[in-house]
Chains A and B, each alone.
Chain A
């Protein structure tokens, strides 16, 4: 069955870096666009980034553009989110989510369980 397993979260100081991973299984990962969506503690959902099935195009929320980088390794069925220059307001659970489409965004039809990132001194 479909599985998305995020990892790499933790506690980091402001200005620090983290790389999140999302291991996919149960579907043909290389055929699907992928999203990162975050949720601050007790708050709503916030879209962060999207990458095409082949990595050719990437899109970001304005507040993370230039600091975060989404990428994928289709040979390893893994999605990544490199997060640099982290700020306290980046504290959230980060979810990876599968898009049923390959390039242009459709929607997120399956989500992982999330990984918590805490930015604090």
Chain B
């Protein structure tokens, strides 16, 4: 099973700040890594597909990068509405797995 390890687990940030969340895979997964945002009491929402491909309707301040085993989600100029938990997810091989999540708190 491919293990995805996110860091940090929790981050408290101020609006307008730049945020970087990393996701490391236990083995190479190419670019089959996707990012989701989950706000409290809501279902997850797709932010980035295949490591760096943007999603229609997602604000441009969200971007992804990486390949192989190391991936990054970057949020430029954080807004209050970005308070949420962020998950990475691999669809390279079964069983598909998620990272443990990174909770962003807005100060």
* A contact set with B: CB distance below 8 Å: 35, 44-47, 50, 59-62, 95, 105-114
Q: Which of A46, A47, A107, A110 has the largest number of chain B CB atoms within 10 A?
A: A107
Partner of A50, one of B89, B96, B97, B100: B96
Interface residues on B, range: 20 to 34
Are the C-beta atoms of A46 and B46 separated by less than 8 Å?
no
A44 to B100 alpha-carbon distance, docked (Å): 6
Shortest C-beta distance, A32 to chain B (Å), equals 14
Please indicate the chain A residues that have their CB under 8 angstroms from the CB of B94 in the complex.
59
CB-based contact A44/B87 at 8 Å: yes
With beta carbons under 8 angstroms apart, the residue of A44, A46, A47, A114 that contacts B43 is: A114
Chain B residues with Cβ below 8 Å from A47 are 89, 95-98
Identify the interface centre among B45, B91, B100: most chain A CB within 10 Å of its CB. B91
Q: A50-B96, A112-B43 are in contact. Are A105 and B91 (CB under 8 A)?
A: yes
On whether A113 and B43 interact (CB within 8 A), knowing A44-B99, A44-B100, A50-B96, the answer reads yes
Q: Is the CB of A106 within 8 A of B98?
A: no
